[in-house]
Structure 1
Amino acid sequence: MIDTKGRSLELFYIDGHPDGMITAELFNWTGHVFVTPRTRLTEALKREEAGYAGVYLLLGEKEGEDFAYIGEAEDLGVRLKQHAAASDKDWWETAVLVSASANRLNKAHVKYLEARLIVMAREIGHTPLHNGNAPKLPGLTEADIAKMEAFLASLMVVLPAIRVDMFIQRSRPAGSTTSAVTRQTAWVNERSSDLEPEFTLKYPKYEIEAHAVLQDGEFIVLTGSRLYPCWQGKEGTSYHPLRDELERGGVIRCEGQSAVFVKDYAFSSPSAAASIIYGRPANGPDKWHQVHSGITYKEWENRQLDALPTEDAAE
């Protein structure tokens, strides 16, 4: 079941701009997230929370792709100074420090959080890690495990808001999205607009056909959809790294003269999905067609907007 309750998040731009030092806190959560660019590390380590126990993320690029390191420390500032001086970690550009108000996390807590974050990052596979073997979970009481899992759940709300998306799980088990039976019933009753609309994209030259649904604001390409077997666009274009990531993460698999989605996958937009399927940049709103009506995604979207009530100009 999807949690539809709203959450209140406060971002404070310490330097007055979004590329500087940032603090992030959720209402009614003891956690505290502090982000600093490496260029401001000296000022960042003077802050009180830099001396707290917690976990941290080092983010940057290595050999042209996103790279990260996840660690824990009883004193975050001391550990960050060590990393800044280490020759094997010259690649990181941003540090994210995660602690709790009043320094409430102890050594066992932060070791648990570190181990869980490493496992989560590797399972998702979005960003390669500099870490070696994953540390073992420390022995915590049942109550402390529940607290740390709740802490992690809130942290997963905060991190995407500060542009850390390495823990966003976009792939889904095959068949986990709205069932075909439900969609077929909706078409028969001519009420598909009341449920998640389904779209199809065809690439006749290569006998490729893909299906997707718009569900809870996500454009999800369904398992079994076909796509071009490799990237045929220019090297380094925006969706090229995503194509490589989907292959690495086991979301798509080559089969003969094409490839196939073996998991459902939530894309950020119809164009992102279309570009992966074509193997080159593509205009998704024009390429995808609604199954029920045959109109393009763009036309379908315009109909939804036109159906919105408008205020009487005379009022």
Structure 2
Amino acid sequence: MTSPSLGRSLELHYINGQPDGMLTAEMFNWTGHVLLVPRTQLSQALARTEARYAGIYLLLGEKEGEPLAYVGESEDIGSRIKSHDTAKDWWSMAVLVTTAGNKLNKAHVRYLEARLIEQAKSVGRTPLANGTNPPRPTLSEADVSKMEAFLENIFIVLPAVRVDLFIQRTRPTPTVAPTAKAPSAEFILETKKHGVKARAVLVDGEFVVEAGSTARLAWEGVGSEMTSYGQLHQELRNEGVLQPQDTVCVFAKNYAFKSPSAAAAVVNGRPANGTVEWKTLSGQTYKEWEAQQLSAVPADRPRPAENRLYGNP
């Protein structure tokens, strides 16, 4: 019997009280410690104790208008990042990942570095400035298990501090239909004018456009490519999720969008209201379907705790 996924508690601490300044992120019952620091506050960050620990680090920024990242490791993170301060001028944010008590050793951080580079390249969202793929060092079976568990938590914490280069939004296609989890709803979007037709399912709160769906070949309009959805359309083409085929693009993989409107915009190649453009197989718009789901939620509200305690109505 498969156990249900458990929730996680994450604590964010804004060190100087500013939302765009240094912050730390920790999870209950995890020894890991994440420090996010803007380059403008690097000297304050490197004066902190954890900056002298062993760990892995990310450098995030842009080069020639395109996002870029670098993944590294060191037994003394602060010392290594100092060398990057002059050698690499494109980055604007650093992320330091260490442990309480400095429990990671050189082999551990080399393993984490190799795995993070593998994951970033597999996702393909952000190009890496790393020249090579370092091999995974040899670890004991127990240490590999510990590092994989450590990575699992890293992949939960980093998106919470706006670091998304490791988020995998493509979804595997179930190979055995009878055992696949049934979707909670299915939707169709068809725009005959542009010859596109897409199918999506809502599963576990994710709006997933299925492989084989079609989308516009390019984003519509001159100068509009820099909109967030226009960038997403281009990003999916760069990643190979959208593959050109004659006059349209075809989804090569299932892809989980953040919202129906994001999915509709990419399919149509223009800004779109997904709540009215996606429709169920019976013809309901997403908006109508959602309203129907909400109407089924019980309206009774629980009585205040003091009333329950004393038996008051």
Same topology, TM > 0.5: yes
**What is the aligned partner in structure 2 of residue 205 from structure 1?**
193
**What is the aligned partner in structure 2 of residue 189 from structure 1?**
none
Preserved CA contact (<8 Å) 2:174 2:180: no
**Pairing 1:279–2:274 present:** no
Preserved CA contact (<8 Å) 1:177 1:222: no
Provide the secondary structure at the position in 1 that maps to 2:187: strand
Give the Cα separation in 1 of the matches to 2:174 and 2:168.
13
Give the Cα separation in 2 of the matches to 1:2 and 1:267.
26
Using the TM superposition, give the Cα deviation of residue 304 of structure 1 relative to its aligned residue in structure 2, in angstroms. 1.6
Task: Report the CA distance shift for 1:140/1:127 in structure 2 as closer, same or farther (over 3 A).
Answer: same
Identical-pair percentage: 56
> What code does the residue aligned with 1:59 have?
L
Q: TM-score, normalising length from structure 1?
A: 0.90
**What is the aligned partner in structure 2 of residue 289 from structure 1?**
279
**What is the aligned partner in structure 2 of residue 191 from structure 1?**
none
User: 1:275-308: CA deviations, max 9, x gaps?
Assistant: 11111111111110012x3111111112222222
Using the TM superposition, give the Cα deviation of residue 19 of structure 1 relative to its aligned residue in structure 2, in angstroms. 1.0
**What is the aligned partner in structure 2 of residue 224 from structure 1?**
212
User: Hey, which bits of structure 1, 4+ residues long, moved more than 6 A?
Assistant: 180-183, 312-315
Provide the secondary structure at the position in 2 that maps to 1:102: coil
**What is the aligned partner in structure 2 of residue 166 from structure 1?**
165
Preserved CA contact (<8 Å) 1:176 1:264: no
**What is the aligned partner in structure 1 of residue 243 from structure 2?**
253
Q: Which blocks of at least 5 consecutive residues in structure 2 are unaligned?
A: 304-312
Task: Report the CA distance shift for 1:110/1:230 in structure 2 as closer, same or farther (over 3 A).
Answer: same
Using the TM superposition, give the Cα deviation of residue 3 of structure 1 relative to its aligned residue in structure 2, in angstroms. 5.5
Give the Cα separation in 2 of the matches to 1:11 and 1:263.
34
Preserved CA contact (<8 Å) 1:54 1:72: yes
**What is the aligned partner in structure 1 of residue 174 from structure 2?**
176
**What is the aligned partner in structure 2 of residue 64 from structure 1?**
65
Give the Cα separation in 1 of the matches to 2:180 and 2:45.
53
**What is the aligned partner in structure 2 of residue 144 from structure 1?**
143
Give the Cα separation in 1 of the matches to 2:164 and 2:205.
17
C-alpha RMSD over aligned residues: 2.1
Task: Report the CA distance shift for 1:252/1:3 in structure 2 as closer, same or farther (over 3 A).
Answer: farther
Provide the secondary structure at the position in 2 that maps to 1:246: helix
Provide the secondary structure at the position in 2 that maps to 1:43: helix
Using the TM superposition, give the Cα deviation of residue 48 of structure 1 relative to its aligned residue in structure 2, in angstroms. 0.4
Using the TM superposition, give the Cα deviation of residue 4 of structure 1 relative to its aligned residue in structure 2, in angstroms. 1.7
Using the TM superposition, give the Cα deviation of residue 247 of structure 1 relative to its aligned residue in structure 2, in angstroms. 1.5
Map 1:43-58 to 2 at 5 A. Answer: 43-58=44-59
Give the Cα separation in 2 of the matches to 1:172 and 1:129.
23
Give the Cα separation in 1 of the matches to 2:235 and 2:4.
28
**Pairing 1:32–2:33 present:** yes
Using the TM superposition, give the Cα deviation of residue 60 of structure 1 relative to its aligned residue in structure 2, in angstroms. 1.1
**What is the aligned partner in structure 1 of residue 299 from structure 2?**
310
> What code does the residue aligned with 1:72 have?
E
Task: Report the CA distance shift for 1:245/1:313 in structure 2 as closer, same or farther (over 3 A).
Answer: closer
How many equivalent pairs are there?
301
User: 1:173-199: CA deviations, max 9, x gaps?
Assistant: 3x239959989xx8xxxxxxxx51001
Q: TM-score, normalising length from structure 2?
A: 0.91
Give the Cα separation in 2 of the matches to 1:227 and 1:274.
9
Preserved CA contact (<8 Å) 1:199 1:212: yes
